[in-house]
Amino acid sequence: MRRKFILFLLLLVLIFSLKPVVVEERQPFLLPSYNLEEKEEVILLQNNPTAYKEKNTSFESIHFSNDKFSDELGFRPFPWGKEIFEGDLSFYCDRDLARTGNWSFQIISEDSTAVGAIAVPGFERKPLVEPEELYYLSFWINYDFKKGEGIRLSQQFFIKGDFWYPTYATYGPFITGSSNGKWEKVGLLVKAPPGAIRGDPVLIMAGKGKVNVDDAYFGRVKIK
């Protein structure tokens, strides 16, 4: 009887040792940002943060969409929109504070565990990219961050077969504190991985605070 029990335990160990490792489907492979050499210079090419015909990079064109990507009043600077991943955040098309024109896109959170983002929802509207090429992502932000991880950029890449979730992503450093009412530019230089077909420029806020976002840029660059 004892021998049968030991054999049964060994069989269980063998079965579980052969069980495949499950990888969270929402977790992309992380890519490092591109580091410039001391004498290298970035030359910006065309600003192309979306495949949609109207780029709306300074969020001046406001649409009443009243969908899940719209702000608290049903408006969004289409094709840009909100995305809430966790907790409670509020988004607004803000006419009280702008760097260019009359509008910016705002995130407000009273929840230190909340996570949300400004992005271009919809796979078909995300920008086309070329594998192995360098791209630059930037936004201008005016912020007052209170508690939590912070504000940061994320550049994601989709390969053939991806639709809902990207295979690759690069993250910038977290930004906390306050810009003291001034606009600051944050940027991220990345190299598209092999097989990349679409990019996904994103600004994330994780925690409690407020940030206004304006003048989005995403496009291929050359190094001189």
* Residue 154 resides in a domain: yes
* Residue 39 resides in a domain: yes
* Residue 64 resides in a domain: yes
pLDDT recorded at residue 3: 53
User: Which residues, in sequence order, are CB contacts of 43 under 8 Å at separation 6+?
Assistant: 221, 222, 223, 224
* Residue 150 resides in a domain: yes
Could you report the per-residue pLDDT of 77-111, keeping only the tens digit for each?
999 999 999 999 999 999 999 999 999 999 999 99
* Residue 10 phi, psi (nearest 5): -60, -40
* Residue 25 resides in a domain: no
- State how far the Cα of 19 lies from the Cα of 55, in Å rounded to an integer: 47
The pTM of the full predicted model, rounded to 2 decimals, is 0.86
CATH number for 66: 2.60.120.260
pLDDT recorded at residue 25: 54
pLDDT tier at 75, thresholds 50, 70, 90: very high
Count of domains forming the chain: 1
Could you report the per-residue pLDDT of 204-214, keeping only the tens digit for each?
999 999 999 99
Q: Is the pLDDT of residue 7 over 80?
A: no
Instruction: Tell me the average pLDDT across 199-205.
Output: 98
* Residue 178 resides in a domain: yes
* Residue 22 resides in a domain: no
- Domain span holding position 95: 30-223
* Residue 177 resides in a domain: yes
Instruction: Tell me the average pLDDT across 59-73.
Output: 98
